[in-house]
Amino acid sequence: MKILVCISNVPDTTTKVKFTDNNKQVDDSGVQWIINPWDELALTRAIELKEDSNNTIDEVCVINVGLPKCDATLRKALAIGADKAIRVDADPLDAYFVAGQIALYLKSNPFDIVLSGIESSDYNGSSVGGMLSEFIDCPAISSMTKLEVENGNVIIHRAIPGGKQILELTPPFVGIVQKGITNEPRIPAMRGIMMARKKPLEVIPAVELQALSHIVEFELPQAKSSCKMIDSEQLEELVDLLKSEAKVL
């Protein structure tokens, strides 16, 4: 079986967010780029499955729709343990565009399981996985918290409000992954880092596809008014404020 993990290139989550060009562009000077944390969890799980000798996973690949600056992030994915990386050379205009490009790649390069993180930490879109499944006309499992492959059978846990479902299905499908799918994203071993450059990183051209939306402008949040401190001996005051002022009780 082959697994494809969709990877988004995002700014490190501790980076301060800034905009330029009259708030129309993200200022990425000095930004450290990383693999989107949820995609990284998905990739880690895929590699864990491949390493488990009971499984029949023989290849884990990663795909990204992005510009050349994404190559370093793709090599990190290779360092972590992916076998091959593919980059569709294009500016990721919107989720529809990204999903469309990946779908077209999958048409001539089918995979059994496609994984993607539930959302990306930059645009919080949470759309690419679902859109992709519709493009390639297969089931999508969202809120996937567990993925096991035993002797070619796929067992999935999906979070539902108040509990979980245990599902069985046959590939191909798109798995949309959230926390719980694995414990920690994998740290690349020294050997993996040195081997990353030897693994294939294929750059392919984008296909003509119209995006359906675009961002017009960004905005930074207003500075929050300062915290009202309440004496720990006067907790009745807090309860009153929560009732009358904040109106949340």
Identify residues 50-109 at the interface with other proteins (CB under 8 A): 72, 75-76, 79, 94-96, 99
Q: Is the dihedral of CA 130, 133, 138, 140 positive or negative?
A: negative
**Nearer CB in complex with other proteins: 84/192:** 192
Q: Scan residues 108-127 and list those touching other proteins (CB under 8 A).
A: 118, 121-127
Check if the beta carbon of residue 46 is closer than 8 Å to that of residue 3: yes
Check if the beta carbon of residue 81 is closer than 8 Å to that of residue 47: yes
Part in contact with other proteins (CB under 8 A); list of ranges 61-69, 105-113, 135-143, 200-208: 135-143
Q: Scan residues 3-32 and list those touching other proteins (CB under 8 A).
A: 11, 13-14, 17, 19
Among 56, 180, 199, 201, binds other proteins (CB under 8 A): 180
Part in contact with other proteins (CB under 8 A); list of ranges 48-56, 58-66, 107-115, 223-231: 223-231
Q: Residue 143 CB, nearest distance to other proteins (Å)?
A: 5
Place of tokens 């046959």: 170
**Nearer CB in complex with other proteins: 33/83:** 33
Check if the beta carbon of residue 129 is closer than 8 Å to that of residue 140: yes
Binding mask 136-165 for other proteins (x = CB under 8 A): ---xxxxx-----------x---xxxxxxx
Place of tokens 């904040």: 246
8-state DSSP, 137: T
Check if the beta carbon of residue 155 is closer than 8 Å to that of residue 168: yes
Kind of pairing, strands 153-160 and 163-169? antiparallel
The token pair that represents 189 in the structure block? 């071993």
Check if the beta carbon of residue 156 is closer than 8 Å to that of residue 178: no
Among 67, 189, 203, 207, binds other proteins (CB under 8 A): 189
- For residue 81, give the 3-state DSSP assignment: coil
Q: Residue 222 CB, nearest distance to other proteins (Å)?
A: 10
187 binds other proteins (CB under 8 A): yes
